[in-house]
Chains A and B, each alone.
Chain A
């Protein structure tokens, strides 16, 4: 679907799209934990925003992500993510179904006051860090799928500076709070994540820190 001329590189790694950014410069100032602020609250607040924002962009291309176009939750030519169902079995799902499951699951967590407390005086649960890691990992998969399967649509809609910045911010944030596992971003040698090399490119460009 992508009219790439003379190169087999994915579009998002090609100039000028790889350089496109809404937010220029380093994400450090908006990623860093503000002094005296509680870390769980800061992480919760940011994950909440990442969820809203990625959901918003998925909403834009949702009509292009169908059972037919994306029968699997793919993020590379040999990589399909599997969903663990209620019987603890790995199942292949069409990407729209998979993403809907992710979004619904995260929304329910966000709405649960015992996990993401909003009432004054209520604390975060003990296992909050591990919950957040799970959420981060699933949102990363949604990004990975959009980059791999829908980047040309992002380009048609002239949204690549926005989407790139959102993803770069997401990566920088994940790095800072040890939510991002580089293995998850790069995938296995026999099943690489297509978007993986973006990490190196953005580091070279200075968008992300080493």
Chain B
């Protein structure tokens, strides 16, 4: 008998997963989530596609000057782009689909290359990450989840990620190429910036970090190397959560070990080897106001950027403590970067990472503004309100309202002229990258599978790019 109010064919079914393997239950759950995601995306893309078409049709209808055949051509062009985008969804890309133009950067886990997609001729930046060095497997999964969300962001402040694939050795990320280099390279070139120039970059960073936070992420590792310059001279933050999520060297425990065992030993490998036979030495503390020391630091700056240790110079103290941290840590990093822009070196830079770490932990004693550099009161005040304990650090509203940013139009800053606009001779111009320092790096990643036999099924049909009308992706 059907219960009252239920149709005649109403049945009860006792559900149980008793007869299933753990694996099947897991897969069922995953399939449900994936299908849910699939339909959400399908509906969203249909809406977006429709909006793009209607917008274009309306714009063309309003244009009384344009001849009809040109209007027709523009609509067909839109259709072509939409069609190409659909095709991309089915496309499996591999290393053999790209040709290296030049090695342009080096990071902790691999290199960044300027590449050209062979069939379309389009230019991208390709970042390789050596799996072996990414150590923890489970963190890879975590990274993947972060990346998936990030890939859906359309923020102008974040470097766009178009695609990713892998072979047994490497994970490859295909990103938009930002031809202007990075802020680290710029700082090496210019030493310091004027307060006006600093205001521009720091203000853009404020908006970029805010955008990242709004996406629900904490960057944790904002440093000049991660601040990239686009063709118009505006900044974008490089893909984070991609590598930063599993930067083992930034783990609190790593620094703890470094602190405990090293006690003055400079390199982490040395620290690791030190073991119980380590010789205890008293670290020599050099004051960084000495011009020589700064020069040494600067000379080693890029080397540090290339090493797997990374530089802890911009990392907030709470990250090193085990007790957790929030998005405030990114504002500390910004303070350190601002200091460097105006003074010429970051506030806690030292001979060794260990010493830098010590200084950051005791920032109260080590945040010193050198006498020979003149800073405005507003600039120094802002830095002091960023490089401070979590409870006293300013939040984004307070930062935006700080007198240092007086006159900044937060709505339009991305559209005004940037202080340095790269002069580019071609779409493959790499003059803003230290390519001569990178000529040791091979054209192709070593040990990569170039046969194409290893295209990854896990990424099949997955694109990270949301379609945008003016996008040059693929």
Contacts and interface: CB of A to CB of B under 8 A. Distances in A.
Interface of A: 3-7, 9, 11, 13-17, 22-23, 29-30, 34-38, 41-42, 44-45, 48-49, 52-53, 56-57, 59-61, 63-64, 110-111, 116-121, 152-153, 155-159, 162, 165-166
Contact of A48 (B46, B49, B90): B90
27 contacts: A3-B14, A4-B11, A5-B12, A7-B9, A7-B11, A13-B9, A15-B7, A15-B9, A15-B10, A16-B10, A22-B39, A29-B46, A30-B42, A34-B46, A37-B82, A38-B83, A44-B86, A44-B87, A45-B87, A48-B90, A52-B460, A57-B31, A64-B20, A118-B87, A120-B84, A157-B25, A162-B32
Given A5-B12, A15-B6, A60-B24, A165 B92 contact: no
Interface string B24-61: 11011001101110110011001101100100000000
A157 B24 contact: yes
A7 to B, nearest CB: 6
Given A45-B89, A48-B461, A60 B27 contact: yes
Given A22-B39, A48-B461, A157 B12 contact: no
Contacts of A118: 87, 90-92
B24 A63 contact: yes
Interface residues of B, number: 52
Contacts of B86: 37, 41-42, 44-45
A22 B15 contact: no
A156 B15 contact: yes
A189 to B, nearest CB: 23
A42 B45 CA distance: 13
A59 B53 contact: no
Contacts of B87: 41, 44-45, 117-118, 120
Contacts of B7: 15
A30 B86 CA distance: 13
Interface in B118-147: 119-120
Interface string B352-369: 000000000000000000
A88 to B, nearest CB: 31
B35 A37 contact: no
B446 interface: no
Contact of B31 (A6, A9, A59): A59
Contacts, number: 135
Contacts of B120: 120
A60 B119 contact: no
B295 to A, nearest CB: 50
Given A7-B11, A34-B46, A34-B49, 19 more contacts: A11-B11, A15-B9, A30-B42, A34-B50, A36-B76, A36-B79, A36-B82, A42-B86, A53-B34, A56-B34, A63-B21, A63-B23, A64-B20, A64-B24, A120-B84, A156-B15, A156-B20, A162-B31, A162-B36
B41 to A, nearest CB: 10
B323 interface: no
Contacts of B290: none
The 10 A-B residue pairs with the shortest CB-CB distance, nearest first, are: A36-B79, A157-B28, A118-B91, A15-B7, A45-B86, A120-B119, A15-B10, A14-B11, A38-B83, A41-B83
Given A15-B10, A158-B15, A34 B35 contact: no
Contacts of A4: 11
